[in-house]
Chains A and B, each alone.
Chain A
Amino acid sequence: MVETLIFLSSGLFLGWSLGANDAANVFGTAVGSRMVRFTTAAVIASLAVIAGAVLQGAGSTTGLGKLGQIDALPGAFIVALAAAVTVLGMTRARLPVSTSQAIVGAILGWNMFSHRDTDTTILSRVVTTWVAAPVLGAIFAASLQVGIKVWLRIFKPHMLRLDQYTRWALILAGAFGAFSLGANNIGNVMGVFVPSAPFDASVIRGLTVTAEQKLFLIGGVAISVGIFTYSRRVMETIGADLLPVSPIGAFTVVVAQGLVLMVFSSRELSAWCVDHGLPAIPLIPVSSSQAVVGAVVGLGLLKGSAGLRQLRWRFLGGIALGWVTTPLIAMMLSFVALYVLQNVFGQEVHL
C-alpha cells in the first residue's frame, strides 16, 4: 500500500500543480476583482472539480490511454513526475505551459523507452486538439459575447441588476468551468495510472464505484488541495495578462473554456456526433489555459482593430512555442528518468 502511494505521489503532485495554476482560469477574475471571496471560490471549485473528475473523467482518460498503455506503476510514476517537473520548471521560468502537452510528451518518452509504437493517428488527433481548443475557445467566446450584447440591447437591465446577475453568473460559470476542468484534466493527472490502477471496484449502498473512479477521486482531492493551498496568489494576481477583460467578458471566457473542455470530455456528445454522421470528437485532455487564451483572443477579435492592438502578441507567441517545447522537454525528461529508475533502482517500468 505504501509503495502504491509512493508511486501515485507524482500524479498527486501533478494534480496539486494543476489545482494551483488552473483554478485561476475559472475563478481568477471573480476573486481578483473581489466579487467573490477566495474561500467561496475555492470551496465551489474544489467540489466541482471532484464531481467532474469522478462523474465525467473517464472520457478524456480513454483518449490518453490510447496514446500509451503504461502497464507498470513505476513507469506511470515517472511519466507523471516528468510531466509535473516540466510544468513546474516552465512555470518557474514564467513560460506558458500546458499540463496536457507535458503529459503527452512524457507518454511519448515512455513509448520510446519501452519500444512501443506510438499510434500516429491518435497523436495527430491529440496535436490537432491543441490547436482546436483555443480556436474553439475563440469561437465560443465570440458567439457568447455577441449573444450577451444582443440580450443587453433588448432588455436594457439596470446596471445594478446587471452587476448582480454578473456576480451570480461568474459563480455558476466558475462551477461549470471547474466541473469541466475536473472532467477533462483528470486524464492528465491520473490517466497514466489507469492501466496499472492498484484499486478494485466496490459497491457502497448499492452504488458501484469503479477502480477508475477511486483513482479519479484521489486525483480530484489532489487538485482541490492545490486550489486551497496555492491558487489564492495566482487568482489574486491574475490580471490583464493578455487583454483587459470586463466582468461580463470574464464570464464569457470562463463559460467558453468550460464548453471547450466539456466538448473534449463528453462521451455523450461524441456518440451524438457519430450517430448524426459527424466525425467522433477525440476525447482527450486539453489545456484549460489555452482554451482561456483562445477565448480572450476571440473577444479581442470581436473588438476589431482596437482589440487586436490591445492583445499582447509576444505572449501568444510564447504559447505557440510551448506547443513544441513542452512535449519535447517532458519526453526527454521521461525517457532519462525511466532509464535511471530501471537501471539504477532496478524497477520494472514496463511489462
Chain B
Amino acid sequence: MKLITHNMLTSKCMKGVTVGYPLKIQAVDVKTSEVDFNPEFISRLIPKVDWNVLCEAAESVGFLDDLPRELIENYENDVDFLKKAHRVLLEVDIINGELVCPETGRKFPINNGIPNMLLNEDEV
C-alpha cells in the first residue's frame, strides 16, 4: 500500500464511525520501489492530497526525511520538492501491517501490500 492510497482511505462505512480518517498505520514491513517520476503529474496530484495526513503517515513509517510539513509556494516549479513528494506518495510501500480506525480501534490488515477493508455483516 502506497501512502497515496492511505491518504484516500477511511473507515466511515463502519457502523458508529463518523469520520474514520485518517487511519493509523502500524507497519511491519515497509520497502521502497522506484516508480517513474512525472513532475507535471505530481504537481496536478498534490492539490488532491491531504498534505498533513501525508506527512504524518510518512513520519509514522520513518520516511518523512526532509519533506516540508507545509506545502511550499510555487511547488509546481520546484523539481526537488516534487521528487520528494513523488517518493513519499508513490514509492514508499507498506507490504505488511495494519490500518487502525481512529474511532473504534478496529484493525484492517495489510498483506502483500494490499489493505483489507472488508467488514463483517454486524459491523455495517
| Mutual binders A and B | no
Binding site for B on A (CB under 8 A): none
Binding site for A on B (CB under 8 A): none
